[in-house]
Amino acid sequence: MKESIQMSENRIVFATGNAGKMKEIRLILADLGMEILSMKEAGADPVIVENGKTFGENAEIKARAVWAETGGIVLADDSGLVVDCLGGEPGIYSARYMGEDTSYEIKNQTIISRVNEAPGDDRSARFVCNIAAVLPDGRVLHTEETMEGNHRREGRRKRRLWIRSNPVFTGVRSDQCRDYRGTEKQDQPSRKSA
């Protein structure tokens, strides 16, 4: 653990460098009255190799890597789209599907084409999100939520695989969505709000 980092009991570090994700996490955790820091803001810069076989394993790998540098409470997530007719792809590889440098427009179109070419009519899919929390004493807690839905036969908008205005996925049940922003309507919920 780095000696220069002083983590207090009222701070949570989230193992990400993604500014958009941090904005969303801060909204979700706003009622805790705690300071929510990205790993960069906490001074952590670990080498993270996501080589787990499940969303939970990958979330824990990220959380433990950051915790080793910061101590305190560290949260990390791993999430992705699981399409049944594609044997569960892209699954834990959603962010790295077809390579990290491939645009989301190309990734989405490829998934749509593969789904349309798949035999049968089953287009069931789900978003899975696992959050791992490493506590100050090193214990790890997990929570995992799933949002069931269907894969679209046609895409819309040029967006990432898993954000609010999702181009390739339609959730089945609106009661699975929680509006953490306090707005009257949240038409396309984020996977984090599931």
Structure token digits, residue 34: 């705690």
Active-site position among 31, 45, 77, 78:
78
- Whether the CB-CB separation of 46 and 40 falls below 8 Å is answered with no
Catalytic annotation present for 45: no
Give the integer Cα–Cα distance in Å for 174 and 36. 29
Q: What are phi and psi of 140, to 5 degrees?
A: -120, 135
User: Which segments within the chain are labelled E, that is strand?
Assistant: 11-14, 35-38, 73-83, 124-134, 140-151, 169-171
- Active-site positions read 78
